[in-house]
């Protein structure tokens, strides 16, 4: 579940680049970071005054939300009625932050979210949005949630807040130690959970009074909820002076500014232990006291309750560098929905990072070593560099690397900033110590972790260089010290102009003179000049620069990381050309057809993302003539030339969604060319020997069993089979007592190829007959739906016919064989049966062709020859079908994660009598539904190339389930085999969603009580269902059960039995019915 927001508002300080923050909100909507139903209104709201306070910012944001909702409702004035059913979330950015130029909300966390739809940096804002939307606010009534962004908040998945009968206002608290509470706020509540008081930095006695039985106290964590009634009353105060001054309307009306706190000026008035007199008198000046009086009148009647969330945690983001580094290098609590990692969205050698360090959004090239307890964010650096413990580096570019080499970096904070001085944009570097305090007077404090007096002595810098003479001594602090060079009259400034402060002896007087000659600013003066938009843009650019390195690393390293989320982000943020360029480069230089194929598939994904869900389906034709030249280059083996020609053609197809989708289809077509080349490396495992040439007119006949895939299917499918590795348990089976698939071939006197498709048996009438007399008649062998395509491909793959060739077909046939060939094929199984018909038929045809041409091939050779044929035919497909139909009995086929692709088959020994037990318990049910496997295959390959986490995990599960099934068969354990079948069916549905038609689901549900396990054969979607029954010989019983089940259509039940003999090659007489000639077993 998730809270569904009507409005989401992010408030920022005046002059705080509101447009940049609005862009950040919109980016999160685009990449799916705001949930499946993002808010209708996303608003970044600038405070009307510089020091408005959290209370004033809340009232102004509430007015803005109500105004927008009123306009959407067709009203011409603001009406509070729009708040009745609204669900509003207000997030306050608050004050500037010493360690992040974009504030605490946009402080990046060392987190990666591999399951996110789009890849992006995770900021504290994102963490809080996730906590509020998916945890804290779930189940709350309509109203207004207000949340600060100045803390790291962790909440368990089920916070256990009771909303029954809720009225008024509720504050959220987290349990904390009494020691921590001394510097923070705590709630004093009664036994009913009603708040009596809010105590800030209280005495030990006051804090002890708030403690619960376990000794913890309820900490104020910056989150409060106003019911719609309370929100209406709060909104009504925006027109009453002096509260009108809190809103932009007050600014526009000339009202004098006022500063209000959310908790101590608004929420506190509802605390049960507060009197009006004490509350009003607590205001600072007359205007605040007047405002408190108005708020008391408006809100006092509402009960103020507290929900303290067990196992939640709260960590305020202080101005202490030690605290900040600690928060980024320690794992968050177990209740967190985030998991911190050492490197997040970074290109870096992890071996150079000590445990307890953290790198986020960085590109670290070469030997950049990072000690424990140090953090690097948003940096592009080149080694060799040594960064000692206790450091925070941020915002540094490659130009800084030389200055850092050999520099003693330990316990320092070094940051690069984007500064805007009116129309002048520049870079400024700041350097402080980890232990420094920003606001303590100089005589009591440190700079670069040493007393100021020592610093002055070491550097030659004087107090007068940093502070004006009239600055009071108590105001002379690090915050106001003009330490940081901004501009120089004659020279460009760089990182070295602050780094010399770490080693002033080496720099002598030259650096000091240069430093004095520069125009310098204090951190206090720099803060209003920070260019947040430029900083966010620089982080974005660096993110996609390291993203390009990730593309190269993942593809060349054959890693199972998905690049699709990065592609989506690149499209959303306008960096798609950079990502496409990197993919082109990898594809053209990899020197590996498998890697290049995956890179082309990724380009197709980027183009699909650019279409933004429009332009049609991703699957479709890919044979437009404009792409033919590039395809020919790829077919010829010129991968680099083909890739760059594809890229040039791509530029012509970028102007509309429809063109982008069509371009994506052609990239998938190009990927298939390279995939075929990778799979055809298996040809080296095809060995063909010589055999006696059968007499002219004598038939060579092959009959094959069907196959049942008991587990592991899809793991045999290229490219999964050679990128991940595959394992499939198959059984060769007779259907209704016979081998249902077969072929026969004979040589004939005429130099032509007669291709005949019979009905269901060798004795059936001719269904389709085709005669090929010219090589041109074979040209469509690679178009699977062309008449006789499989048989044409078989002649070419067995090299009986050379194609293409300058020599005519008739001449080839006469010179080599003294005539032509006639081929008959048959199958008793319906189209799309799921029993491996086409691949097994290809094996039968190739076995009979080899023998009829005077050649012999082993079963292993035939398995790999069929792989080759199906790639030439362009149907793709894996190896499990031919393994299942050409190797007898029960076996497991395996392939390793490598090229060339080689399939190894191991027969599975079963206990004595268990084969007959299987025969008695296995049944085949024809569902009456025809499977459309081609689209399923395209989707599976696309998802695998995208390395969707679900596809990768499922591939692992398929292989492990196959090994478990093989073990269950060795034990003869029917219940365990049934579990493997059921698990296998779930895995098939995960791999190819939509492969279970409704009628099949009903059928399986009806049979479930009577079977150990069941599964649709093959890819699913229809065809045959096989079941492992609990009782033996259940054919009639199951028929009666299904006959009573509604909505099944035409089903039929068939007996099956394990074929332990396997297929055979028989040389027969001229009459195919004549069985007098001896049977020849194929070599194994």
Q: What is the pLDDT of residues 403-426, one digit of tens each?
A: 999 888 999 999 999 999 988 999
Rounded to 5 degrees, what are φ and ψ at 925? -115, 120
Please tell me the predicted confidence (pLDDT) of residue 335. Answer: 59
What helix, strand, coil percent values describe the chain, rounded to 5?
40, 20, 35
Yes or no: say if 661 and 617 are a contact pair by the CB < 8 Å rule.
Answer: yes
Main-chain phi, psi angles of 1057, to 5 degrees: -145, 150
pLDDT of residue 456: 94
Distance CA(837)–CA(828), nearest Å, equals: 9
Helix (H) or strand (E) holding 526: helix 523-526
What's the 3-state SS for 476-521?
Answer: CEHHHCCCEEEECCCCCCCCHHHHHHHCHHHHHHHHHHHHHHCEEE
**Mean pLDDT (whole number) for 936-955:** 91
C-alpha to C-alpha distance for 142 and 229, rounded to whole angstroms: 10
- Tokens 């984007």 locate to 418
In the numeric block, which tokens belong to residue 318?
């202080």
Q: Indicate whether 648 pLDDT > 80.
A: yes
CB contact burial 22-37 (16+ within 10 A = b; e otherwise): bbbbebbebbbbbbee
Phi, psi of 577 (to 5 degrees): -65, -40
**Residue percentage of the chain with pLDDT more than 90:** 81
Predicted confidence at residue 1050, as pLDDT, reads 85
Q: What is the pLDDT of residue 931?
A: 60
Q: Are 418 and 101 in contact, with CB atoms under 8 Å apart?
A: yes
Confidence bin at 284 (pLDDT 50/70/90): confident
pLDDT of 576-606, one tens digit each?
999 999 999 999 999 899 999 999 999 999 9
Q: CA-to-CA distance for 775 and 781, rounded, in angstroms?
A: 11
Residue 865 · residue 686 · CB < 8 Å: yes
**CB neighbour list of residue 751: distance below 8 Å, 6 or more residues apart:** 773, 809, 810, 811, 813, 814, 819, 820
Rounded Cα–Cα distance for residues 543 and 562 (Å): 16
pLDDT tens digit string along 704-713? 999 999 999 9
* pTM tops 0.85: yes
Name the CA dihedral angle for 333, 58, 169, 8, rounded to a multiple of 10 degrees.
-60
Instruction: Count other Cβ atoms within 10 Å, centred on residue 311.
Output: 15
pLDDT value for 535: 96
Q: What pLDDT score was predicted for residue 333?
A: 62
Question: Residue 225 has what DSSP assignment?
Answer: E
> Alpha-carbon distance 951 to 942, whole Å?
10
Determine the pLDDT at residue 222.
Answer: 93
HSE at residue 921, side-chain half, CA atoms within 13 A, is 21
Rounded to 10 deg, the angle between the 998-1007 and 1035-1043 helix axes is 130
752-766 mean pLDDT: 85
As given in the structure block, the two tokens for residue 135 are 């945890």
Which structure tokens are listed for 183? Answer: 């510097």
Question: How would residue 16 be classed by pLDDT, with cut points 50, 70 and 90?
Answer: low
- How far apart CA 993 and CA 155 sit, in angstroms, is 34
pLDDT at 31 (0 to 100): 87
Structure tokens given for 385: 């560099």
C-alpha–C-alpha distance, residues 686 and 850, integer Å: 12
The average pLDDT across 531-553 equals 96
Dihedral over Cα of 913, 916, 920, 922: its sign: positive
Instruction: Please write the tens of the pLDDT for every residue from 300-356.
Output: 999 999 999 999 988 999 999 999 999 999 766 655 667 889 999 999 999 999 999
195 within 8 A of 112, measured Cβ to Cβ:
no
User: Rounded to whole angstroms, how far apart are CA atoms 758 and 1073?
Assistant: 15
Judge contact between 199 and 332, C-beta under 8 A.
no
Report the alpha-carbon distance of residue 743 to residue 841 in Å, rounded: 7
Q: How confident is the model at residue 1075 (pLDDT cuts 50, 70, 90)?
A: very low
Residue of 979 and 253 predicted with greater confidence: 979
* Selection from 901, 899, 867 nearest residue 883 by Cα: 867
Terminal-residue alpha carbon distance, the chain: 58
- CA gap 98, 479 in Å, rounded: 10
Q: How many CA atoms lie within 13 A of 202 on its CB side?
A: 21
pLDDT category, 764, cuts 50, 70, 90? confident
Name the one residue in this structure whose structure tokens are 């209104």: 41
Alpha-carbon Rg for the chain, nearest whole angstrom, is: 37
**Tokens 């006949």 identify what position?**
701
Task: Answer yes or no: is pLDDT of 869 > 90.
Answer: yes
Contact 1020, 996 (CB under 8 A): yes
Q: Stretch 219-227: mean pLDDT, rounded?
A: 96
Rounded mean pLDDT, 76-97: 93
Dihedral through CA 260, CA 264, CA 265, CA 266, nearest 10? 110
Cβ atoms within 10 A of the Cβ of 898, count?
13
So what's the pLDDT on residue 336?
Answer: 64
Query: pLDDT tens-digit profile of 736-751?
Result: 999 999 999 999 999 9
Burial tier of 428 (Cβ tally within 10 Å: 0-12, 13-18, 19+): buried
């Amino acid at each position: 579940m998730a809270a569904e927001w009507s409005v989401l508002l992010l408030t920022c300080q005046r002059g705080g680049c509101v447009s940049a923050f609005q862009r950040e909100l919109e980016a999160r909507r685009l990449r799916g970071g705001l949930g499946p139903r993002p808010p209708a209104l996303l608003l970044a709201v600038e405070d009307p005054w510089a020091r408005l306070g959290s209370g004033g910012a809340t009232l102004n944001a509430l007015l803005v939300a109500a105004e927008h909702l009123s306009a959407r409702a067709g009203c011409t004035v603001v009406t509070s009625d729009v708040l009745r059913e609204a669900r509003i979330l207000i997030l306050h950015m608050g004050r500037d932050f010493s360690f992040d130029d974009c504030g605490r909300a946009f402080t990046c966390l060392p987190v990666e979210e591999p399951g996110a739809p789009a890849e992006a940096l995770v900021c504290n804002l994102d963490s809080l949005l996730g906590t509020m939307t998916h945890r804290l606010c779930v189940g709350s009534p309509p109203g207004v949630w207000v949340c600060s962004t100045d803390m790291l908040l962790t909440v368990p998945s089920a916070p256990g807040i009771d909303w029954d009968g809720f009225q008024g206002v509720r504050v959220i608290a987290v349990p904390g130690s009494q020691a921590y509470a001394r510097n923070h706020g705590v709630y004093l509540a009664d036994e009913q959970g009603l708040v009596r008081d809010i105590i800030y930095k209280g005495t030990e006695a006051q804090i002890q009074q708030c403690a619960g039985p376990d000794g913890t106290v309820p900490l104020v964590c910056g989150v409060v909820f106003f019911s719609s009634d309370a929100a209406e009353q709060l909104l009504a105060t925006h027109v009453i002076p002096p509260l009108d001054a809190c809103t932009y309307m007050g600014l526009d009306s000339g009202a004098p500014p006022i500063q209000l706190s959310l908790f101590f000026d608004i929420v506190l008035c509802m605390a049960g232990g507060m009197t009006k007199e004490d509350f009003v008198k607590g205001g600072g000046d007359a205007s605040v006291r007047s405002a408190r009086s108005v708020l008391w009148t408006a809100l006092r009647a509402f009960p103020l309750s507290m929900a303290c969330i067990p196992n939640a945690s709260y960590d305020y983001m202080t101005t202490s560098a030690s605290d900040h580094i600690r928060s980024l290098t320690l794992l968050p609590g177990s209740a967190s929905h985030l998991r911190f990692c050492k490197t997040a969205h970074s290109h870096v050698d992890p071996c150079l990072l000590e445990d307890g360090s953290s790198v986020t959004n960085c590109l670290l090239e070469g030997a950049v070593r990072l000690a424990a307890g140090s953090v690097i964010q948003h940096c592009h650096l080149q080694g060799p560099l040594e960064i000692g413990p206790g450091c925070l580096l941020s915002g540094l570019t490659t130009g800084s690397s030389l200055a850092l080499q050999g520099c003693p970096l330990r316990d320092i904070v070094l940051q690069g900033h984007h500064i805007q001085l009116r129309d002048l944009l520049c870079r400024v570097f700041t350097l402080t110590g980890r232990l420094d305090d920003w606001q303590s007077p100089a005589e009591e404090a440190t700079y670069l972790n040493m007393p100021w007096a020592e610093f002055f002595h070491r550097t030659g810098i004087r107090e007068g260089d940093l502070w004006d003479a009239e600055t009071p001594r108590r105001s002379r602090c690090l915050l106001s010290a003009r330490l940081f060079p901004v501009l120089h009259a004659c020279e460009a400034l760089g990182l070295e102009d602050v780094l010399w402060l770490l080693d002033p002896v080496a720099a002598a007087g030259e650096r000091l003179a240069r430093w004095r000659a520069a125009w310098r600013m204090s951190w206090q003066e720099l803060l209003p000049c920070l260019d947040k938009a430029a900083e966010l843009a620089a982080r974005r650019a660096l993110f996609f620069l390291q993203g390009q390195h990730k593309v190269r690393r993942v593809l060349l390293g054959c890693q199972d990381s998905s690049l699709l989320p990065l592609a989506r982000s690149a499209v959303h943020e306008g960096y798609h050309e950079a990502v496409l360029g990197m993919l082109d480069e990898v594809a053209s230089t990899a020197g590996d057809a498998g890697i290049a194929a995956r890179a082309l598939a990724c380009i197709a994904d980027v183009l699909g993302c650019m279409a933004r869900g429009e332009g049609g389906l991703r699957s479709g034709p890919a044979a437009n003539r404009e792409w033919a030249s590039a395809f020919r280059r790829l077919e010829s083996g010129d991968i680099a030339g083909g890739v760059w020609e594809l890229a040039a053609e791509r530029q012509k197809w970028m102007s509309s969604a429809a063109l982008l989708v069509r371009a994506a289809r052609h990239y998938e077509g190009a990927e298939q060319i390279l995939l075929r080349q990778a799979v055809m490396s298996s040809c080296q495992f095809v060995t063909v020997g010589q055999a006696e040439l059968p007499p002219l007119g004598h038939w060579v006949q092959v009959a094959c069993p069907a196959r049942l895939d008991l587990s592991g299917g899809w793991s045999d499918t290229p490219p999964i089979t050679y990128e991940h590795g595959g394992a499939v348990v198959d059984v060769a089976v007779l259907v209704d007592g016979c081998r249902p698939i077969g072929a026969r071939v004979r040589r004939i006197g005429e130099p032509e190829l007669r291709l005949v498709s019979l009905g269901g048996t060798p004795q059936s009438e001719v269904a389709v007959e085709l005669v090929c007399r010219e090589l041109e008649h074979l040209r469509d062998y690679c178009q699977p739906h062309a008449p006789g395509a499989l048989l044409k491909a078989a002649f070419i793959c067995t090299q009986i016919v050379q194609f293409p060739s300058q020599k005519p077909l008739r001449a080839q046939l006469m010179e080599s064989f003294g005539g032509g060939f006639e081929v008959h094929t048959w199958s008793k199984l319906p189209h799309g049966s799921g029993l491996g018909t086409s691949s097994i038929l290809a094996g039968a045809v190739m076995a009979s062709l080899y023998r009829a041409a005077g050649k012999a091939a082993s079963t292993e050779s035939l398995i790999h020859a069929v792989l080759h044929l199906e790639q030439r035919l362009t149907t793709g497909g894996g190896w499990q079908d031919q393994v299942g139909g050409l190797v007898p009995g029960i076996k497991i086929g395996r392939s390793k994660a490598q090229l060339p692709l080689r399939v190894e088959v191991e027969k599975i020994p079963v206990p004595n009598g268990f084969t007959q037990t299987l025969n008695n318990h296995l049944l085949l049910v024809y569902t009456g539904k025809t499977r459309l496997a081609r689209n399923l295959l395209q989707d599976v390959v696309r998802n695998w190339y995208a390395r969707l986490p679900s596809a990768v995990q499922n591939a692992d599960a398929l292989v492990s389930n196959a090994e478990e099934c093989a073990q269950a068969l060795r034990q003869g354990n029917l219940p365990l085999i049934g579990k493997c079948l059921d698990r296998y069916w779930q895995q098939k549905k995960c791999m190819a969603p939509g492969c279970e038609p409704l009628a099949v689901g009903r059928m399986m549900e009806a049979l479930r009580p009577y079977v150990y396990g069941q599964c649709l054969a093959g890819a699913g979607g229809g065809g045959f269902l096989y079941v492992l029954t609990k009782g033996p010989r259940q054919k009639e019983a199951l028929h009666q059960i299904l006959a009573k089940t509604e909505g099944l259509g035409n089903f039929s039940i068939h007996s099956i039995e394990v074929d332990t003999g396997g297929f055979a090659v028989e040389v027969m007489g001229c009459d195919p019915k004549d069985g007098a000639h001896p049977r020849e077993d194929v070599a194994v």
